[in-house]
Amino acid sequence: MVFGSGVPTVAVDELKEADFLLDVREDDEWQAGHAAGALHIPMSEFVARYGELTEAAPQDGRVNVICRSGGRSAQVTMYLAQQGVDAVNVDGGMQAWEAAGRAVVDDNGQPGAVA
C-alpha cells in the first residue's frame, strides 16, 4: 500500500498565501527551511501537541498538512480526518513547494532550503 492513497490532497499551486499550513517535519528539517507562517508540530510529537493545532487552526477552515515529500503528512491528514478535522495533504510536500518557486525561509527569516 502506498502512503497517501485515498487521502484528500491539494496541489501546491492551489494554495493561497492566507491558507493555513501545518508542517509536520522534524526540527532539523524545519530549521533548514519552511514556509513562512506555517505552524510547526513534528509528526513524532503530534498527538501530544494536538491542542496547539486546535488553538491555531481556523475554526471553519481547512488544515493543509505538509512534510518533505508527502508521506508523513498523509498519515497526519488521515489522523485529522478521523478526528473530524477538514484536512488535506499537500501533494509533493515541501519539495513541490520549493520547486513551484514558493518562498522557503529559515528560523531567522532568511532564505532557506528544503532538507
Active site residue 24: no
Among the options 63, 65, 67, 74, which is catalytic?
Answer: 67
Q: Are 69 and 114 in contact (CB under 8 A)?
A: no
Catalogue the active-site residues.
67
